[in-house]
Amino acid sequence: MTAPLAGYTILDLTHVLAGPFCTMTLADMGATVVKVENPVGGDDTRAFPPFKDGKSAYFAAINHGKKSIALNLKSEADRITFEKLLKRADVLVENYRPGVMERLGYGWDVLHQDFPHLIYGAVSGFGHTGPDSKRPAYDMVVQARGGVMSITGEKGREPVRVGASIGDIVAGMFLCQGILAALVDRAKTGKGRKIDVSMLDSQLAILEHAVALTTVTGKAPGPSGARHPSITPFENFHASDGLFVIAAGNDKLFEKLCIALNLPLSDDPRFATNPARCDNARLLKRLIEAVTLGDTRAHWIAKLTAAGIPTGPIQSVDQVLKDPQILARNMVVDVLDRNGRQAYKAAGNPIKMTDAPDPTTRKPAPDLDGNRGEILRWLDEA
């Protein structure tokens, strides 16, 4: 089996999350990722808890399998090494604020002239154009400004950020998509392209129902808790021992749900269509819960699953890590230490591909500058 990106080299100048998440995905698909770090401290996440044996599990989860070399791009000697790396690399990825690479002498125009094959991937808070392009940003800033926080949480309560860092992660995913498209294009043209991904843009791009509702109705949606604002029933429901979810996304599924719950509602004009159900969502929830409160979550999940209705438990992360379906898909992997011992757990690669390896372990996260000798020897072979 051959990893689809085997043979490609990614020069990774990124730090924290958006950029490293992108390059982690490329590494999981077989690319060689050379992480260029600041000699003083390296990637910020090396100092992020939790720690095990003095090393960050957060850093290891996002940077496993990469190689590290510490370079000061203001040092003439290190710039010579960096430019050797540029000659060998297929892709450069950076997440500095716009203008930083230009001040270092490595902006897109210069790199494209000197290394026309090189693909340049950039991810930043607000992108490389626009009036706010040079402003700093973190995940929470773009979740707030991008509208995601305005629809997250319970009605009448303060907005909350999504628990996962989707401001960073979604941008990293879009950057990865752009890089893969540029690699396909380069195979045809021989020339690299620049990919400019904004974290703020990426938040707007995932507001599928909110944009549609706002532009059609003229009114911006607010938070709706766990309920989908355009599909009903599609939310949390109480059983006798707690909450579980039901997602009956069309009329046929709603009819099956009514049969399973022995609720004669599918022909009721208040509930016969999805728009009608949305208009009467609170009443419908009360009618459903009048039934589901009579038994346990496990009972209803088993019964509804047997009837073909999408349902499931609300699991904590420790429960997810033991979920048989998750484990069957190799979605919990071991990150090894330099001695080949299991050191950390991390999420596996969700991209499953025929004839591509999907190992149960990942190579270690690199020590700062830990691969200098190996990288310099590789450069001398060119």
- Residues annotated as part of the active site: 228
3 state SS of 201: helix
DSSP 365: P
Tokens 């940003």 found at: 137
DSSP codes of every residue in 286-336: HHHHHHHTTS-HHHHHHHHHHTT--EEE---HHHHTT-HHHHHTT-EEEEE
DSSP codes of every residue in 62-121: HHTT-EEEE--TTSHHHHHHHHHHHHH-SEEEE-SPTTHHHHTT--HHHHHHH-TT-EEE
- Taking CA 114 as the corner, what is the angle to CA 109 and CA 120, rounded to the nearest 5 degrees? 55
Residue 37: closest CA among 4, 2, 77, 66:
66
* Rounded-to-integer distance, Cα 46 and Cα 29, Å: 24
What tokens were used for 323? 């979920």
CB atoms within 10 A of CB 169: 19
3 state SS of 274: helix
Q: What is the per-residue burial (b if ≥16 Cβ within 10 Å, else e) of 92-115?
A: bbbbbebebbeebebbbeebbeeb
* Rounded-to-integer distance, Cα 66 and Cα 375, Å: 12
Determine contact, residues 118/111, Cβ cutoff 8 Å.
Answer: yes
DSSP 222: -
Residue 85: closest CA among 9, 28, 14, 191:
9
Terminal Cα-to-Cα distance of the chain (whole angstroms): 27
